[in-house]
Amino acid sequence: MPLPTLPLSPRSWSVAVRNAYQRLNQIYETAHSYIDSGSLEANRLQYYGNLIINEAYSLLLLLGESAESESLPQDWIEDVATQFTMLLELVNEHWLSAANDEYV
């Protein structure tokens, strides 16, 4: 499932919002594509998990803090956060499996 696109806005989104969305989309698509590849290594999955926790969630918090001034719908931010949470669960599930396979 792709990340929800930025909602339509009566004015152009600020550079900060566009850049944050582009980075979020890049993290999401790259991690999802890696999982879909089926050739999974524990250290790479750990990297993507850390990227989601440290970078994606931080960007989402910043977008949430500026939502009112940017006229960014809170529902959209929550939808994107939910997508990242589901992706993190998927990464963790595969990481546990890959880590067990590497140490057996």
Phi first, then psi, for residue 27 (nearest 5°) are -60, -45
Domain map (residue ranges) of the chain: 17-32+41-103
Phi first, then psi, for residue 8 (nearest 5°) are -65, 145
Q: What is the residue-level pLDDT of the chain in tens, covering all 104 positions?
A: 789 999 988 889 999 999 999 999 999 999 999 989 888 788 899 999 999 999 999 999 999 999 999 999 999 999 999 999 999 999 998 887 776 665 54
User: What is the length of the chain?
Assistant: 104
- What span, in angstroms and rounded, lies between the C-alpha atoms of 56 and 59? 5
Predicted local distance difference test score (pLDDT) of residue 104: 45
